[in-house]
Structure 1
Amino acid sequence: MSMTTSSSSAFKLICLLHSAVALSSGALMMFDMKGIYTFTHGIETATKLLGSSPHDQLLIRTSDSFSGLLLFAIGFLLFMVSFVKDKSFQSFFAKGCTVLHVIVAMWRFWFERRVEDLAWDWLRQTVGDILLGLSWVFFLVYSWREKYD
């Protein structure tokens, strides 16, 4: 296998893995948010997060559905990008995804941990964001190693 092929394969694999996570998470957010809240936060917190009045519940369900749709669209975009063969684009895209994951981790650290019902969960999610960002960093290091060897 040539050097350029292995780097492209790594990019495709990372994109497809991130795509699978985004597509499945987005679909679950659109159609089964109560199940996700119960699984990730427990029954008591899930009840609080789903709202107390019918109006609040409708707003929260609508917001979760749109967030899930956005995540699903991101997953579809990642799937399409996984087939791009241009090395400079792959590097640019990986850098952008790394920055995005760092920003999301910072958001969780600065804001989400202050929400009382989510305060215990922010660390686990921040570690997840950092690990997803590291997958792109590993791709960048791998492609730089190939470039300069």
Structure 2
Amino acid sequence: MKRLFYSSAIYTALGLLSGLFYREMSRANNFDGYSQLNVTHTHMLVLGTIMFLVFMLVEKNFSLTRHQKLFNWFFVTYHIGLLLTVAMQMTNGIMTIKGIEVSPAIAGMSGLGHIFLTVAFILFYILLNKSAFKNKK
């Protein structure tokens, strides 16, 4: 459960720092349009901070970590997906603010991050099913 707590706390810090970075990057480059940096802050706070708090509550009620191997797969896959997605958002946003043409490869990598998140949510629901309905057949 501590891993879930620390993950939430770290994503809170990263989310707040990304909001600060967006503001300062936009100000320094006199940019007032839309870039992917606008939503990086929200993605980290919602998919990072809030979701890990939700996972913590679910862990408290259903002991997901009893299924250690499956839980580890979910945990690592979720982090990879979220970090890859947010890293590509930041890359796209910085390139947009700097006036650099954004490569389609950035969108492809972001899509890969979303695929990892999708797999992580599937693993989470399998894990939740095993934990919540362990005695029911």
Same fold, TM exceeding 0.5?
no
TM normalised by structure 2 equals 0.42
Which entry has the higher C-alpha Rg, 1 or 2? 1
